[in-house]
Structures are given as structure tokens and as C-alpha cells.
Structure 1
Amino acid sequence: MAESSSSSKDEVFQLIKRFGAYLTVKMSNLFSLSFHNLDSRSVGAIAGLAVAIVFTWRLLRSPGGRQRRPPKRQAPGTSSSGVSTQTSPASLPSAALSPSEDLKAQNVVDEFFQPVKPTLGQIVRQKLSEGRKVTCRLVGVILEETSPEELQKQATVKSSVLEVLLEITKFCDLYLMERVLDDESEQRVLAALEDAGVFTSGGLVKDKVLFCSTENGRSSFVRQLEPDWHIDTNPEIVFQLARFIKYELHISPVRPERTAANVFSSPSLEQFFGTV
């Protein structure tokens, strides 16, 4: 009876050791996340991890958790040749536990530490490196149209980019700009943005939608505003501004050759943030 109890304690001790080792792996993965990206769920996971570590450590340190050697058992035989050579399952080394014990500990930790999917706001802040001011071209990025000539007929906001755009306005000072050929094009663009609900979020106002008549005019806007990020489709503008702007995002359907270390590229704004 005493031998069976000791063996059970050994098995529990080994299970706790495996549980603690697996917790160490999970802890290293969890703390590899940026603390800027933690939300309430992540904070709760870290708190639970701390409790689990303390609990495991106390069990390992307590006298009852130390491995005890089972007392020797006298052979029932009356002669030395009568010693039994059979080994009962309870007397097997406690380290030789079945793989199911390891799997059980792993499953417990996996269920407790489910991966936390970052929110779109966290992704936007991480991708923009916490930049606080952003300038962005409208044509080919926010609008379906790809040239100022098309704006003379219509202006349509991309539905796929709207969620990202509104998220950027929550924590960035965002300025939208475009070259137009007439005043009617300006009105079409403003009406399209208003119909899409861009101005209702409170992060963007009409005064921050700028228009010019030349490509160099847009470049001048950007240099005057001195943003942390500028987003554009014109490779010449991107190249010219690379010396003055901290980061740039070049929107192009074909991946261009990287011209500078601070210039990134993506087929679309929404793909850069992983929403499509």
C-alpha cells in the first residue's frame, strides 16, 4: 500500500515537471510579443501564466513534492534462491511514464494559452511603427479610380480599404491629397468620402483633404507636413521623398525594386495591413 502511494507521488511529480517545462516554452513565445500590442486578453494570459508558474514552483519546492525512494521490500521466500525476479508495474521507474502523460500536460497548457489574434488597430499601429502623422494619395489607394482624368467622371471609395482607413484615423493625424484637373473633381472626391462615412468617425475632416494641380504640388504638400509615413502610387514621388520622409509605402500592383531602406511596397493599402 505504501509502495503504491509513493509511486503515485512520483508520477505526479514527473507530470508537474513536464507541465513546468512546457510552461517555460509557452512563456518564451508569449513574451516575444510587443508589449504595445497587448490587450486585455493578453494581460489576462500573462497573469494566468504567473499564477501557474508560482503554483508549479511551490509544488516542486514543498517537502511533499520531493521524490522519495520507496522502502526496500523483503522477499517472501525462506531461502536466498527464492527471491522473486518479477517486477510489478508499481516498481517501475517513475521517469518511464507513458507518452500520454506528456500529451496530457501539453493539452492542458495549450487550452489555457490559446493564441490571441491581434486586432486591426494593433496591426495598424505595429505596421506604422507607432507613427502619428500620415499623408496618403487618394487615386489608386483610397479610390477605385487610377488617374485624375477618371475623377472628371466619377469618384468611388474602395470598400475593402474603408476599415483600414478608419482605423488609421483613430490614432494618426491623416491627410489625404490628390491632383485634380477641375473643381468638379474636387467635389466628387469629397462627396464620395462623405458618402463612405470617412468624415463621421471624427478622425478626418474635409480640411485635411488637399488638392493640387500638379504632381510636384503633392510632393510639396508632403514635405511641408513632414509626416512619419507617406503613401503614394507614383514611383517618382516616392523616390524624391525618400530622403525627407521617415517611411514610405509604395502602392503598386507589381512589386517594384526597393529603392531605399525606408520604402516599403504592397499591391494595396489593405494588403499591407493583412485585411485581404
Structure 2
Amino acid sequence: MADNSKDELVQLIKRFGDYLTAKIGNLDSQLVGALAGLAVAILFTWRLLRSPSGPQRRQPKWQTPIPSTSGVSAHSNANLTYSEDSRAQNVIDEFFQPVKPTLGQIVRQKLSEGRKVTCQLLGVVLEETSLEELQNQATVRSSVLEVLLEITKFCDLYLMERVLDDESEKKVLLALEDAGVFTSGGLVKDKVLFCSTENGRTSFVRQLEPDWHIDSNPEIVSQLARFIKYQLHISPSKPERTPANVFSSPSLEQFFGCI
């Protein structure tokens, strides 16, 4: 039993070395063998440690008549070789399987390590898309919440919106608080800004000088294109002509690949 496992490991190391040679190029055979041996040993140790059942108990062997014809023997050897090749390839594929990046890594990469972000509320963070709707209620979009909280972990985030009355402001702040936006420590109520005109939002952004501004109003995006390093235009359809520093996405979460 131990000899079979040893032979199997040796074969896997050999096949792994051949794989590395083919992928990397002509390397010293001893170096390739060392790399292959280390990689396979690490993988086997990991698989053994995560196995819930541990080493399996040896099962009794039952002898069965084996035909002595050469055709059957050749067929068995072919199946055995195919099985070994398949197992070796499975180990190699599992070892080289790409690691999926975390949401935090995606956010940092997409924002090009920007440290300050300004973002409109209506239609981006909130379900509501009009000022009249905001007078009745404010609802944080559940699909955007995880992205929003991830941004606050490493960015100085400011949320802003035009409102028609003080009641709308209260509804927005309450909705953000109920969603847990203020509990992460990265965003405080003082960084949620309100104004009475669209020009007021433009003025906020100009004064804050963020690395990124996120907005659904194409006019504001166009006006700020000369002053802000990057912008994300939230729009159901991609505009035909946009400056090189303006990106477009149907939603904030789709921009980060969350949908």
C-alpha cells in the first residue's frame, strides 16, 4: 500500500515537472524537479489536512479471476495509464487554479487606489430616482450596500444629493443609518451633503476635489470632466461619446462586477 502511494507521488512529481518545463521553458532539470516536488508535497499535505475523514481504513481485497488474454491485459494497462494521466492533470489543474480576488481588492483596483470619492445618492445608492419620491421615502439599495461599505474602508467618501425640503434630508439620513452605513466607521453623517440645486452638487464636488465622482446626471458629469481625475457615469445605456477619464455603468455594483 505504501509502495503504491510512493510510486503515485513520484509519477505526479514527474508529470508536474514536465508541465512546468513546458510552461516556463528550458530550466535546469534539478530546479524543475525541486519546484515540482515542493508544489505537489504542499498540495498533498493541504488535501490531507482538510480531509474530514482522515486516512481511510484498508479494505480487504477480494480476488477475482483475471483473464490471461493479451487483449484484455493491454486494455487494462491502457485504462490504468489514462487514469494516472487524468489524476495527475487534475492535481496540476487544482494547483494552478486562479485565486478569485476579494471585493476589497476589486474596489481598490477599479478606483485606481483613489483616496477620496464623492457620490450622488438618487438612483445610485438609493432606490428612488426623483426628488418627489424622496419626499415620501428613502430606501438604500441592498445590492449596493456591500460595495459602499467596502469603499468606506479605504476611501474618504462623501454622499450628496439635491433635496426639496428638510424632511427629505431626514428620510435619507435615517435610511442610511438603518442600513448600517454609519456603523463601519468610514462614513459619518457630516459627510452626507444636501443642496437645493444641481449646481450646488457641482460646487460641492469642485470644492472637495475628489479622485472619483459618481453621478447619474450627464450634464454634471460633462461639466466636471475637466476638473476631476476620474468619473463614473451611472446610466442604463452607454453614452456614445465620453472623455477618456469618464467611465460608464448601469449601476455602481455592476461597475465592480457584483452582478
TM-score of the superposition, structure 2-length normalised?
Answer: 0.71
The one of 133, 136, 141 equivalent to 2:119 is: 136
Is this contact kept in 1: 2:235–2:251, CA < 8 A?
A: yes
Q: Whole-Å Cα distance in 2 between the matches of residues 145 and 125 of structure 1?
A: 27
- Indicate how the Cα distance of structure 1 residues 170 and 103 shifts in structure 2: closer, same or farther if over 3 A, else same: same
1:99 Cα deviation after fit: 6.1
The one of 229, 243, 248 equivalent to 1:260 is: 243
Q: Whole-Å Cα distance in 2 between the matches of residues 182 and 194 of structure 1?
A: 19
2:19 corresponds to: 22
The one of 168, 173, 188 equivalent to 1:205 is: 188
Q: Whole-Å Cα distance in 2 between the matches of residues 190 and 223 of structure 1?
A: 23
Aligned residues: 208
1:147 corresponds to: 130
1:5-44 mapped onto 2 (5 Å cutoff) = 18-23=15-20
Query: Cα deviations across residues 116-161 of structure 1 (Å, max 9, x unaligned)?
Result: 2211111111111111111000000000111222211111111111
The one of 25, 29, 35 equivalent to 1:53 is: 35
Is this contact kept in 2: 1:22–1:106, CA < 8 A?
A: no
Is this contact kept in 2: 1:219–1:237, CA < 8 A?
A: yes
SS in 2 for 1:210: strand
1:103 Cα deviation after fit: 3.9
- Indicate how the Cα distance of structure 1 residues 54 and 112 shifts in structure 2: closer, same or farther if over 3 A, else same: closer
User: What letter is aligned with 1:120?
Assistant: L
Q: Which runs of 5+ in 2 are unaligned?
A: 1-6, 26-31, 39-80
1:188 corresponds to: 171
Q: Is structure 2 residue 88 aligned with structure 1 residue 109?
A: no
2:42 corresponds to: none
Q: Whole-Å Cα distance in 2 between the matches of residues 268 and 209 of structure 1?
A: 20
2:141 corresponds to: 158
1:208-223 mapped onto 2 (5 Å cutoff) = 208-223=191-206
- Indicate how the Cα distance of structure 1 residues 155 and 24 shifts in structure 2: closer, same or farther if over 3 A, else same: farther
TM-score of the superposition, structure 1-length normalised?
Answer: 0.67
Q: Whole-Å Cα distance in 2 between the matches of residues 199 and 99 of structure 1?
A: 58
Q: Whole-Å Cα distance in 2 between the matches of residues 217 and 121 of structure 1?
A: 31
SS in 2 for 1:176: strand
1:202 Cα deviation after fit: 0.5
User: What letter is aligned with 2:19?
Assistant: Y
| Greater Cα radius of gyration, structure 1 or 2 | 1
1:113 Cα deviation after fit: 3.2
Q: CA RMSD in A?
A: 3.1
1:258 Cα deviation after fit: 3.9
Q: Whole-Å Cα distance in 1 between the matches of residues 249 and 201 of structure 2?
A: 21
SS in 2 for 1:224: helix
1:233 Cα deviation after fit: 0.1
Q: Whole-Å Cα distance in 2 between the matches of residues 24 and 16 of structure 1?
A: 12
- Indicate how the Cα distance of structure 1 residues 264 and 258 shifts in structure 2: closer, same or farther if over 3 A, else same: farther
1:233 corresponds to: 216
Q: Whole-Å Cα distance in 2 between the matches of residues 182 and 26 of structure 1?
A: 65
- Indicate how the Cα distance of structure 1 residues 13 and 193 shifts in structure 2: closer, same or farther if over 3 A, else same: closer
Q: Whole-Å Cα distance in 2 between the matches of residues 163 and 51 of structure 1?
A: 45
SS in 2 for 1:140: coil
Query: Cα deviations across residues 143-194 of structure 1 (Å, max 9, x unaligned)?
Result: 0111222211111111111111111111111000001111111111111111
Q: Whole-Å Cα distance in 2 between the matches of residues 51 and 243 of structure 1?
A: 56
User: What letter is aligned with 2:111?
Assistant: L
Is this contact kept in 1: 2:13–2:37, CA < 8 A?
A: no
Is this contact kept in 2: 1:251–1:266, CA < 8 A?
A: yes
